[in-house]
Amino acid sequence: MHRKTLLASALTVLMVGSTAFAMAQDAPPPPPPAAVHATHGKDMRAAARPDGDHGHDMRQRGFDGQRGGVIGDLRGLERLYMQAGRSKELASLYNDVLAKSQDPRVRDYVYQHLARLQARPTNLDQAIATLRKGLDESLANEAKMRAEREQMRAAWQQHHDNAATPAAQPPSNRS
């Protein structure tokens, strides 16, 4: 008798759970609360792009999930320069950053924005030259990293080969 009661209870729980799951699948998701973005003070739903890409904000964040660092500071400065109508001064800012930074991500960001800035008033030749300079730098960094990887691989392979072949033992002199 106890076994039948347990089986009936389990069947009831299974049916209730599957019904709840089916109803949850049909119900529309609840609307998100109107969250205020910590750094901009804007409604997050208003900040979403028209194509529904809500992840664009996450791509602007650093590895630790925080806004900041050089690229975050550059974005803030760009916004302020644009609001003040001093966008022509951005080129000197970008060139200062290129002179001071060796970070490939920062340099790529600056080259992209500098080229975009140079292309605005139809100075396309200068924009192309800037992008080519950034491309050459990226290719040189990639070649350097590849050479370092190959050098480490060769050293590891030599170490592995030396460890695999035992050293020749001198013959013992038993007389």
pLDDT value for 150: 95
- What are the two backbone dihedrals, phi and then psi, of residue 31, each rounded to the nearest 5 degrees? -65, 140
Which letter does DSSP use for residue 153 in this model? H
Q: For residue 101, how many C-alpha atoms fall within 13 Å in the half-sphere facing its CB?
A: 20
| DSSP per-residue letters across 110-137 | HHHHHHHHHHTTT-HHHHHHHHHHHHHH
Rounded CA gap, 103 and 113, in Å? 16
Query: 3-class SS at 168?
Result: coil
Query: Along the chain (175 residues), what's the average pLDDT of each consecutive run of 10 residues?
Result: 74 72 60 50 48 49 57 90 87 90 90 86 78 87 92 93 70 58
Q: What pLDDT shows up at residue 28?
A: 56
